[in-house]
Structure formats: C-alpha cells, structure tokens
Amino acid sequence: MSDKFEELYHQIPKLISKINSDLTPNWGSMHVHEMMEHLTTGFELSLSYEDFEITTPEDKIPSFQRFLMSDRPFGKGSPMPKNYQNFKTTNSETLERAKERFVGKLKELKEITESDSKFWSIHENFGRLNAEQTRQLHFKHITHHFTQFGVIQ
C-alpha cells in the first residue's frame, strides 16, 4: 500500500497557498479558519497519547479499520467525533497563524509516526491505531476538508 499521507505531505505547501479567507465550503457550515483549526486539533488529538473512549463496538472495529485503510473517502455528512468537543487546544487569532500551526503539527505528526515504532493513537470510531493507520486517518481527514473547500478537486 502506498503511503498516501506522505504523498499529500509533499503537496501541502502548494495546497496551503490556495487557502484564504475568501474560500467558502462546498458543503457543511465550517468557515475556512475553523476548518484549519479543526484539522490541527485532529493532529493534537493523535499526538496526545490519551486513551480516549472508543464508541464503536469492539466486534465492529475491524470493519471500521478496513474502511479507514481503503480508498473510500469520508462522507460529506460525517459527524465530528466527540473528542473534539472536550479537547483543550489553542485557537489562532488569524487564518495565517492557523495555517502555520497546521503545518507545524502536521510536521510533528509526520516525524513522530516515522521515528516511534510504538506510536499509537485512539480514535473513538476507528479504535486504537498504529502509525500507518494514524497517517491514513489524517490523509483522509485533510483530503476531506480540503475537498470541502475546493483546495483539492
């Protein structure tokens, strides 16, 4: 399986340059600044090593993880995991600062998933994830929201 996260990572400077305050979503109610903060919070959740509650029944986790590792995208109406609601994060005052924080946390996630052979994260729907699964999660998440805002066609 190719590492789609790695492929996307190398496109980030070009993609980030397309993000500006004039972008409007093709679906959903987030504004562009909120979307950047949301993606950064996702990195922070994965980097936290917190043992979040997994809401998916244990017997369903394998099928959820197969979906995660597949080429199928997240649906347009996918609900935001509850972990986002209670997780303490820093919000940036400007879109430019939010973009910088996004890139910084993305680099941090890339480095830790490459260097820590015991890396793990918890996603309430997908369960306990290793580095490869976490990278795939963020590939899908970034692609979902960048498509939402027309940054990726």
pLDDT at 97: 96
Residue with tokens 């306990």: 128
pLDDT at 1: 54
Tokens representing residue 141 in the block: 């998440």
Question: Which segments in the chain show pLDDT lower than 50?
Answer: none
CA 122 to CA 53: how far, in whole Å?
8
Q: Which helix (H) or strand (E) holds 123?
A: strand 121-123
pLDDT at 86: 73
**pLDDT tens column, 28-55:** 999 999 999 999 999 999 999 999 999 9
- Neighbouring CB atoms inside 10 A of 38's CB total 17
pLDDT at 23: 97
